[in-house]
Structure 1
Amino acid sequence: MTSSSSSSSTATTTVTATALAPYGWDEAWAEAFAPYDAQGMLPGRVVRVDRGQCDVVTADGTVRADTAFVIPHDPMRVVCTGDWVAVEPEGNPRYVRAYLPRRTAFVRSTSSKRSEGQILAANVDHAVVAVSLAAELDLGRVERFLALAWESGAQPLVVLTKADLVPDPVTRSHLVQDVETSAPGVPVFAVSAQTGEGLDVLAAVASGGTSVLLGQSGAGKSTLANALLGEEVMDVRAVRDVDGKGRHTTTTRNLLVLPGGGVLIDTPGLRGVGLYDATTGVGQVFAEIEELAEGCRFHDCAHESEPGCAVQEAIAEGELPHRRLESYRKLLRENQRIVAQSDARLRAEIRKDWKRKGAQARAAMEFKRGGHRR
C-alpha cells in the first residue's frame, strides 16, 4: 500500500470511528468488521427494521437498505434493531450483506406452534423492564421479563413508571420492595416522567451503552423515552380508563441516541412474552430457590413433600414466598416444553421421566390399597 493510500485508509477509519462512536462503535467492532472493510463495505448500525427494509446509520449518514441477503426466513437470523452490519457503499436498492456477531440478543418465543425464537434487539448492555404503578403489579410477568433479560446477556433493571400516581412514599416503598423480592440482584427504582423523579439515575445507567426498553403497552415506555431524549420523539397515547391498558403507539423498534450519552431502543408493547431456551435466565431470577435446593436431602428433590426439603422449610419459616416457588415451577415447565420441541433427545428423556413417575404413582396406589407389586 502506498503512503497516500495508507493515509486515505487511516482518514476513513477516523471518520467512521468519530461518526459512529455515539452509536457504540469501538475498536472491537472495527476489528470484527475488517473482512468486510477489505471488500469495500460500509459499517453501520441498524436503527429501525420494517418489512425487509432497514434504516442504517453510517459515517455517510442514514441509508435505507434491503435485508434480502441475510437469511430472511429464519426469525433468529434476520437483521434486527441494534445489529452492526456491512452495507453496500452504493446501489439502488442498497443491500445489507451481513451482520457482525452479536454480543447479546434479547429473544422470545414466537406465537407460532413451531416454537421458533424471535430476536427483538441485539447488542444490548442494559435491559430496562418498565412496569406501571398505575396498574396492579404482576410479579409473575416481571419475573418472566427478567428471565429473558438475564438470558440475553444484558444487565436487567426494573423501573416502576408513573410513580407520581402513588404519592404516598410508604406505599411506594412497599411496592419497590415487593418487586425487589422478585428480582434478586436487579436494581429496582421508581421513576416519573412527569416530575422527573428517578430520571437522573436511569439516564446515568443508559449513558453506559445500549439500553432497550421492555414492557407491556401502557407501561409508559414511550413517555419515558421522550423524557430521556429531552424532546417529543415517540408518539404517546393515554391508557384506557376501563382496564388501564395502553394502545400500541410504538409499532417498530427504534434506536435513538441519548443527549447524555448512550443509545436507547424503544420497543412495541409486548402482550406475549414466551420463554425461549432461557434455562440460565430462569435460574438467575430464582437464584435463592436454586441456592436453597442445594441444601435439600435429595439431589432430585421436587420441593413438594420430600423429607429434608430446604425449599419447603424456607417457605414454612416465612423466608420464601410460596408464590415464588410456583412461579419458578411454571417458568421451568414452560421453558422445558419449548426446548423439548426442538430437542428430540430431551423429549425422549422427558417421556422416560413421565413413565417412571407414572409407575411410582401406580405402585403407591397399590400399596395404599393393600396390594403388592409383581
Structure 2
Amino acid sequence: MNKLETIGWDQSVQDIDEDKIARVIAVQKNSYRILDGEMEYFSHLSGKFLNQVVSSLDYPAVGDWVEVQKLVDEQKAVVNRILPRKSQFVRQAAGTRTEAQIVAANMDTVFIVNSLNHDLNLRRMERYILSTYESGATPVIILTKRDECAQDEIDTIIAQVEEVAIGVPIIPLSNITKEGIEELLTYLPAGKTGALLGSSGVGKSTLVNTLIGDKVQETKDVRTVDSRGRHTTTHREMFRLPNGSLLIDTPGMRELQLWEGETAIDATFQDVEVLENECKFTDCQHDTEPGCRVQEAIANGELSDERFKSYLKLQRELAYERRKQDQKAQLEEKNRWKKISKMQHTQSKFRKKR
C-alpha cells in the first residue's frame, strides 16, 4: 500500500505525478491543511486557481484530492487544482444569499447522527437522507446515547426511524458502554471515508474520540431541558482511525437547507412514489380525486399524513431553490459578459491611442 492509499486513494488519474497529490484534511476560512499520507502541510490557493473560481463549489472542501506544489522544508504547499470528486455533500449556505456550501467531499458513507432523546427529528432526518443520496454517498443512521434509554424505548424509536429511513442501516450505540461501535465500523472499513453529520450535542465529536481512543475533539455537556448541545466543533476536519479508515467531523447543523435533491427524492420517499404510481389517474393531485391510492393509504394508516406533507414540502422547497439558483446563474452570466465587454472596450481604446 502506497502512502496515498493510507488516506483513502482509490483511483488513478493519468498524467499526474502522485508526489504532487494530497488530501484536504481541514479547512478554516482561507487556510487549508493537507496530507500526502506522510506529512501535513499548511497550504493556500494559487493565483491561477483563484482566477478560475466561478462559484463557492469550486473551492476545496475537506476530503478533496488536490494537485499541489510542495515546499517540503517549510511544510507549506500551494494548491493548483482540485481533482474530480466522486461525491460531495452540498447544502444551501446559512443566511439569505443563494449560495452552495460543500460540507464534505469524496466520502463513501454519510453517518447521520441523532441522539435517542429530544433531538430526534424525523423530518430533519428525511432532509439528511435526501441530501446524502444526492451527494453520491451511502447513508447510515447513528442513534447515540443508547445507555440512557431502556431497550423497549430504543425499539420504539427504531421503528419510527425505519418508517422514514427505508432500507437505511440504523445503529443505536453508546460512547459509554461501546455498544454498537463494532457494527458502525463494518460500514467504515480500511481505506474508506465517512462523514459525521447532525445537530450540535448529538455526540459526533465524542464518537470521534471513542473511535480513535483519544481525546482529539473537544466536547461539551448537553442541556437537560431540551437535550440541545452547543457548537463544539468549529471547523470540518478529517481523522485517521486505528482500523485504517478516514472520518470527517463537522460542526453541528440545527437546520439543513436543501441545495439540490431532485434526483434523490424518489429514493428517499420510495414508499410515497410507489403509492403515487398506483393511483387511478396518472395526473392525480392526491387531494379529492377518485381512486387516489395516496389518500387511501393515509386514511388506513399505511402512510402517515406528516410524511406525505413532508414529501410535498421538500418538493416545493427544491423547486423554489432551483428557481433561485437559475436566477442567480442568469445574473452571474450577465455580469460576466458585462465585464468582458468592458475589458474589450478598454483594450480597444488603448490600441487606438497607440
Letter of the 1:20 counterpart? L
Question: Which residue among 19, 35, 55 is the counterpart of 2:3?
Answer: 19
Q: How far 1:60 moved relative to its partner?
A: 4.8
Aligned counterparts of 1:73 and 1:246: Cα–Cα separation in 2: 36
TM-score (norm 1): 0.82
Aligned counterparts of 2:46 and 2:291: Cα–Cα separation in 1: 58
* SS in structure 1 of the partner of residue 325 of structure 2: coil
> Corresponding residue for 1:321?
304
Q: How does 1:222-371 map to 2 (within 5 A)?
A: 222-343=205-326
Question: Which residue among 15, 20, 36 is the counterpart of 1:35?
Answer: 15
Moved over 4 A (4+): none
Aligned counterparts of 1:142 and 1:213: Cα–Cα separation in 2: 13
Q: How does 1:80-99 map to 2 (within 5 A)?
A: 80-90=61-71, 94-99=77-82
Letter of the 2:152 counterpart? V
> Corresponding residue for 2:40?
62
Aligned counterparts of 1:60 and 1:323: Cα–Cα separation in 2: 50
Question: Which residue among 51, 72, 75 is the counterpart of 2:56?
Answer: 75
Per-residue displacement from partner, 1:269-321 (whole Å, max 9, x unpaired)?
Answer: 01231111211222211111011101112222221222111111111121111
Aligned counterparts of 2:6 and 2:37: Cα–Cα separation in 1: 11
> Corresponding residue for 2:96?
113
The 8 Å contact of residues 41 and 86 in structure 1, kept in 2 or not, is answered as no
The 8 Å contact of residues 52 and 68 in structure 1, kept in 2 or not, is answered as no
The 8 Å contact of residues 206 and 261 in structure 1, kept in 2 or not, is answered as no
Per-residue displacement from partner, 1:173-217 (whole Å, max 9, x unpaired)?
Answer: 010110011111111121100111101000121125100000000
2:134 is equivalent to residue 151 of structure 1:
yes
Letter of the 1:251 counterpart? T
% identical equivalent positions: 38
Aligned counterparts of 2:37 and 2:217: Cα–Cα separation in 1: 25
Q: CA RMSD in A?
A: 1.9
> Corresponding residue for 2:345?
none
* SS in structure 1 of the partner of residue 219 of structure 2: coil
Aligned counterparts of 1:90 and 1:288: Cα–Cα separation in 2: 54
**Structure 2: segments with no counterpart, 5+ residues:** 331-354
Aligned counterparts of 2:216 and 2:296: Cα–Cα separation in 1: 52
* SS in structure 2 of the partner of residue 80 of structure 1: coil
2:28 is equivalent to residue 50 of structure 1:
yes
2:156 is equivalent to residue 178 of structure 1:
no
Per-residue displacement from partner, 1:18-51 (whole Å, max 9, x unpaired)?
Answer: 212121113x2xx32x4342xx961111100112
The 8 Å contact of residues 42 and 88 in structure 1, kept in 2 or not, is answered as yes
